[in-house]
Amino acid sequence: MQDHAFEGVGLTRAYQLEGVTVEALRGVDLRIGQGEFVAILGPSGSGKSTLMHLLGCLDRPTSGVLRVGGVDVATLDDSSLADLRNRMIGFVFQSFHLLARTSALDNVALPLVYRGLGKVERRAMARQALEAVGLGHRMDHRPSQMSGGEQQRVAIARALVGEPQVVLADEPTGNLDTRNGAEVMALLDRLNADRGVAVVIVTHEPEIAAHARRQIHVRDGLIEQDTHENR
């Protein structure tokens, strides 16, 4: 296993919007180790979501070097990059992104389709993941039959089903009330502590970031503060 889940050197990301170059990231250096619990914070437009998209292999840097699990993403074609993303990273989004007409079990099993696993094996792994997040009794329910907190736990189970090294969570409590948000954060805390899964949360809420043992503050496309450096 590599020492670092992510390693970025001089990362930039620029977009062309109506003929104007917008620099979302302007030279970011960071390392996130295996098993860390990290929060990335910043105001709207700071570049924190762009940074998460790069770390999640959903986008590529304009310049700089990004290694994910020790692999330089610049050396990968789109298919290989998708394979790395599927094997190493689990995603949890604010809006859950569950298939509305599909059971919790089959929602969780979906990422395993892309690994070529058979239906029986996929469902067995999905069942285990749902039990791990306390939803063994809701496997056959569709998202509309579950609360927001339960839907987010299904999304976490889906992120975990492939046994990733990292879970990236983008505003994971943004659509939840206080109680359900606290339950989701407690679940992420346990996954990090008990399984050693690295957790990276993107948030603008200080109380959510407080769960992390390291906070990276982003502003104007640069890292403004990294509490890891202050230890």
- Which residues, including other chains, have CB under 8 Å from residue 180's CB and lie 6 or more apart? 147, 148, 149, 152, 173
> Any idea which residue has 């569709």 for tokens?
142
Domain that holds residue 90: 34-59+77-230
Percentage of the residues of the chain whose pLDDT score is greater than 90: 87
Rg of the chain (C-alpha set): 18
Q: CATH number for the domain including 95?
A: 3.40.50.300
Q: What pLDDT is attached to residue 229?
A: 55
Distances (CA, A) of 194 to 111, 132, 136, 187, 188: 23, 11, 19, 10, 10
Residue 65 lies in a domain: no
The tally of domains found in the chain comes to 1
Q: What pLDDT is attached to residue 2?
A: 52
* Model confidence at 162: pLDDT above 80: yes
- Beta-strand runs (E) in 55-192: 63-68, 71-72, 89-93, 166-170
Percentage of the residues of the chain whose pLDDT score is greater than 70: 98
Eight-class DSSP state of 113: H
* Model confidence at 129: pLDDT above 70: yes
Residue 22 lies in a domain: no
* Model confidence at 231: pLDDT above 60: no
Residue 194 lies in a domain: yes
Residue 48 lies in a domain: yes
Residue 161 lies in a domain: yes
* Model confidence at 128: pLDDT above 90: yes
pLDDT band at 103 (very low <50, low <70, confident <90, very high): very high
Q: What pLDDT is attached to residue 228?
A: 78
**Mean pLDDT computed over every residue of the chain:** 93
The mean pLDDT value for 100-124 works out to 94
pLDDT band at 1 (very low <50, low <70, confident <90, very high): very low
Residue 26 lies in a domain: no
**Contact call for residues 78 and 27 (beta carbons, < 8 A):** no
Report pTM: 0.91
Q: How many CA atoms lie within 13 A of 224 on its CB side?
A: 12
Q: What pLDDT is attached to residue 204?
A: 87
* Model confidence at 164: pLDDT above 90: yes
The values of phi and psi at residue 166, to 5°, are -140, 140
Residue 187 lies in a domain: yes
Residue 105 lies in a domain: yes
pLDDT tens for each residue of 5-35? 999 999 999 998 888 999 999 999 999 999 9
**Contact call for residues 13 and 41 (beta carbons, < 8 A):** no
